[in-house]
Amino acid sequence: MIVPTRRRADYLRVALASLAAQDLDPASYEVIVVDDGPSDDTRAVTEQAAAGAGTALRYVERAGVPGLNSARNTGVAASEAPFVVFVDDDVEAPPGWLRELLDGRRRHPEAQVLGGPIELRLEGSRLPMCGRESPPITTLDAGPGDREIEVVWGANMGADRRAFELAGMFDEGVPYGFDEDMWERRLRERGGTVMYVGRAGLVHRRDARDSRLRPLMRAAYMRGRSLRRYVEHRGQAPSAARELRVLAGCVWHIFRRRCGNGLLLTAHSAGRVREMLAR
């Protein structure tokens, strides 16, 4: 397993504890922490987790330019496993998660990439949400069963070595994050298959500090700016008129639905507009 991380030791500690508690033989898998912003705290958390874990757990520093994709590529190069599993540093995986993902691989040997559900957990949050729209935080729910899918997310994604032979490595020139769909699109165009495994789910968490409204809105705003850079990189950026219509709709959603998530959606849309105007 490869865990890219960047100066989030508290999140990483929880993620590593959950990965070490998988209901598989600890000798059957290895965890590699790839530090994208090398820090003593990240190294210390990894070393503490390694001391108490039954599975192999090691720390490596990201090679190449800063960014998530460089960290992923560093992890792939450091691993010798035939099946490489990626998770984010802010997940918590139930004990059966890895077993279910590997079972899915056995059921679907034709698939080069597999992934599962990602459930959002805002710890301690009382933000009212109407349920019509998801918060602008990575989640995935394609149902309880297995099926071929266009994209799974890097917070919960396994890749056979064949996938890198078909699609190449992750593009280190892409703005931070948001590269999974481009990489998986290359894979599908070259004959590869992406499979969703309905029982291989994990939790994408925000702790009590980050589940407060202001940090959530700040994160949504920055994610919006990153997403605008990404769609511009792909040459698929919406027009200014469309971006402004979306922003107006998000503001309307706050008052129409009395929905706290409307605040997050507005911050996300505002980030996109701000990035568009900065170009």
Per residue in 166-215, pLDDT tens? 999 998 877 656 678 889 999 999 999 999 999 999 999 999 999 999 99
Cα→Cα distances 100→44, 158, 202, 261, Å: 30, 12, 11, 32
Q: Which of 43, 85, 41 is nearest to 202 (CA)?
A: 85
Number of Cβ within 10 Å of residue 182's Cβ equals: 18
Contact 196, 148 (CB under 8 A): yes
Q: Would you place residue 60 in the very low, low, confident or very high pLDDT band (cuts 50, 70, 90)?
A: very high
Q: Is 11 helix (H, G, I), strand (E, B) or coil?
A: helix
Q: Say which residues have a Cβ less than 8 Å from residue 80's Cβ, sequence separation at least 6.
A: none
- Domains, the chain, ranges and CATH? 2-206 (3.90.550.10), 213-278 (no CATH)
Query: Model pTM?
Result: 0.93
Please write the tens of the pLDDT for every residue from 93-139. 999 999 999 999 999 999 999 999 999 999 999 898 888 888 999 99
Please write the tens of the pLDDT for every residue from 268-277. 999 999 999 9
Number of Cβ within 10 Å of residue 230's Cβ equals: 20
Please write the tens of the pLDDT for every residue from 143-167. 999 999 999 999 999 999 999 999 9
